[in-house]
């Protein structure tokens, strides 16, 4: 539709996740009207992130140093490890301010359809941490869907020999939600996981 | 939440239109996992677009050359000019394959709230084109909202002395739509603009 570099930019933006052709066009025209310094800064940041950001060698989270901020923070609880699928899940958990331990990023979930088995995930590294560090609890915070549950079940099995306590995030009604709009599986879980309040 | 350059990239992406904090994080993590060549290409395109893409000196559309593809295409009808708010509106009109004339980009609409008057738009250039080129018809294709209608009314007034025929895009029911879901203003316009079919 457009000439040369503008169309190339629209195509490149359109390949990003969640960006359709219309959004890509809108973004490209926005960038055309943005001052050059801002666009140059964005281009610089894209290159910088690829060069600087690596994986933490302990937990697998994103980090610009060998060990990430959380793993190198001595004030954090060394006895509990929260296992997440992706590095970005850590920020969601950190925002709750409820967890003071450290994390372990699996790098995905077991998914036979996508050809991802336990060996493609950082499970060996997790078992290694549990046996060498003074770990008392492993909280499995994979997503509450089919693959996440299967991965959690697998982790329970492979962690059994270490004798560590393995827990799973609670499933139930979202806070602020309504029973009327909850699906039956979630409501069933909320019933099963009911807590004594008296 | 994140360290250094990753957080900077998330912030920069979050300032783009239609990209919220969650989408910005998702995009940044996607780019982290994308191969370096693709990200470098995106960065290169961002810089290239800012350097190469200019305005066509005739119609004001985006172009890498002094005159855009449409203005320099001698097979197009030189007697009709379609006036649009923004350069990106041209691609929507071109996709219809119904218009064979040329375009004129206003660069916005008259909007006193935003401090945009006729002088900030390319209206003088339009009158100049109408008087010097062999224009027979000006199709006003500004958006069918308050500002677009006001701008269209203004254009009708200033173009009157030139004697050119000024037309406006039809308002009515969208094709494939249903009367039940049409708002009353649109339905009223559809009634007013009814066509004889017998």
Test the A interface: residue of B9, B61, B84, B103 with most A CBs within 10 Å: B9
Domains by residue range for chain A, with CATH? 4-52 (1.10.8.420), 76-168 (3.40.1360.10)
Contact B32 A49 (CB under 8 A): yes
Are the beta carbons of B103 and B59 closer than 8 angstroms? yes
What is the maximal distance between C-alpha atoms in chain B? 70
Q: What per-residue confidence (pLDDT) applies to B198?
A: 80
- How many C-beta atoms lie closer than 10 Å to residue B130's C-beta? 22
Integer Cα distance of A80 and A83 in angstroms: 10
pLDDT digits (tens, 9 = 90+) for A90-148: 999 999 999 999 999 999 999 999 999 999 999 999 999 999 999 999 999 999 999 99
Contact B42 A46 (CB under 8 A): yes
- Give SS3 for B168: strand
| Chain A residues inside the 8 Å CB shell of B87 | 29
Cα distance from A192 to chain B (closest Cα, Å)?
A: 32
Are the beta carbons of B12 and B4 closer than 8 angstroms? no
A60 sits in the region (left: phi over 0; alpha: psi -120 to 50; else beta) called: left
| Chain B residues inside the 8 Å CB shell of A38 | 12
Asked if pLDDT for residue A180 goes beyond 90, the answer is: no
Average pLDDT score, chain B? 93
Asked if pLDDT for residue A173 goes beyond 90, the answer is: no
Predicted interface score ipTM higher than 0.85: no
Q: What per-residue confidence (pLDDT) applies to B47?
A: 94
> In this structure, are strands A137-140 and B54-55 parallel, antiparallel, or unpaired?
unpaired
Cα distance from A68 to chain B (closest Cα, Å)?
A: 9
Contact B5 A45 (CB under 8 A): yes
> In this structure, are strands A54-55 and A137-140 parallel, antiparallel, or unpaired?
unpaired
Test the A interface: residue of B21, B36, B43, B56 with most A CBs within 10 Å: B43
Integer Cα distance of B36 and B184 in angstroms: 53
Asked if pLDDT for residue A77 goes beyond 80, the answer is: yes
Are the beta carbons of A3 and B63 closer than 8 angstroms? yes
Q: What per-residue confidence (pLDDT) applies to B149?
A: 93
Contact A2 B91 (CB under 8 A): yes
Integer Cα distance of B183 and A135 in angstroms: 63
Q: What mean pLDDT do residues B179-193 have?
A: 88
Are the beta carbons of A126 and A137 closer than 8 angstroms? no
Asked if pLDDT for residue B42 goes beyond 90, the answer is: yes
Asked if pLDDT for residue A30 goes beyond 90, the answer is: yes
Cα distance from A122 to chain B (closest Cα, Å)?
A: 16
Integer Cα distance of B125 and B9 in angstroms: 40
| Chain B residues inside the 8 Å CB shell of A26 | 17-18, 88
Q: What per-residue confidence (pLDDT) applies to B173?
A: 87
pTM of the prediction?
Answer: 0.78
Q: What per-residue confidence (pLDDT) applies to A4?
A: 84
Q: What per-residue confidence (pLDDT) applies to A101?
A: 95
């Amino acid at each position: 539709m457009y000439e040369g570099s503008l169309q190339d930019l629209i195509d490149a933006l359109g390949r990003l996740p969640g960006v359709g052709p219309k959004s890509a066009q809108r973004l490209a025209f926005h960038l055309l009207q943005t001052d050059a310094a801002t666009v140059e800064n964005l281009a610089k940041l894209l290159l910088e992130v690829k060069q600087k950001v690596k994986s933490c060698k302990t937990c697998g989270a994103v980090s610009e140093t060998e060990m990430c901020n959380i793993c190198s923070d001595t004030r954090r609880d060394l006895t509990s490890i929260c296992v997440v699928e992706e590095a970005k899940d850590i920020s969601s958990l950190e925002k709750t301010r409820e967890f003071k331990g450290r994390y372990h990023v699996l790098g995905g979930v077991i998914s036979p359809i996508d050809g991802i088995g336990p060996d493609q995930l950082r499970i060996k590294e997790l078992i290694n941490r549990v046996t060498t560090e003074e770990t008392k609890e492993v909280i499995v915070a994979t997503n509450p869907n089919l693959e996440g549950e299967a991965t959690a079940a697998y982790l329970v099995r492979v962690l059994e020999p270490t004798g560590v306590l393995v827990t799973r995030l609670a499933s139930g009604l979202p806070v602020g939600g309504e029973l009327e709009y909850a699906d039956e599986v979630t409501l069933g879980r909320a019933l099963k996981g009911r807590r004594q309040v008296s």
